[in-house]
Amino acid sequence: MLANLMFNEPSADGIQGMTACGLMVRNRVLAGWDSGDWITAIKNYHRYDANPTIEPKTPEIGDPIRNDLFRRCLGIATNIHQGLERDITFGALRCARLDQCSEDFANKIVRPKDPLTGLQLHPRVAQIGLRSFFK
């Protein structure tokens, strides 16, 4: 399921973007989101999108025999699940293309500051291709 989620990520950011998707699932599981359950975290991945779609996308099912990219996703997903993949998102829990994110996402994630310290509540921790990643 993780490899299929990664495989269905937009290809603009290539394999790094797909890897980042899988790593965010792991980060959410480790943070206790969705009760720390991998399957639930995968199913709920798009629930936290910067631009949630009204109609859910129908994912393409990867074919490990005919598709080299899906085979790569399978290998990376295995490493992510086993904790062997280096976290290129640095613990990110959310991501967005800043030029396309909703005003709600921008107000809740991109801009909010702690009233006591003035520090970002959700600091940007990585940039991979077109997407910014936040804690």
Average pLDDT, the chain: 91
Contacts of 89 (CB under 8 A, 6+ apart): 20, 23, 24, 27, 95, 125, 126, 128, 133
Can you give the pLDDT at residue 116? 84
pLDDT of 1: 95
pLDDT of residue 14: 92
Confidence of residue 119 (pLDDT cuts 50, 70, 90): confident
| pLDDT of amino acid 64 | 79
Residue 54 pLDDT more than 70? Answer: no
Check if the beta carbon of residue 123 is closer than 8 Å to that of residue 135: yes
**The pLDDT value given to residue 55:** 61
Helices then strands, each counted (H, E), the chain = 5, 3
> What's the structural domain count of the chain?
1
Q: What is the pTM of this model?
A: 0.90
Domain residues for the domain of 128 are 2-134
DSSP 113: B
Residue 134: band (very low, low, confident or very high) from pLDDT cuts 50, 70, 90: very high
Band of the pLDDT at 49, cuts 50, 70, 90? confident
Residue 17: pLDDT over 70: yes
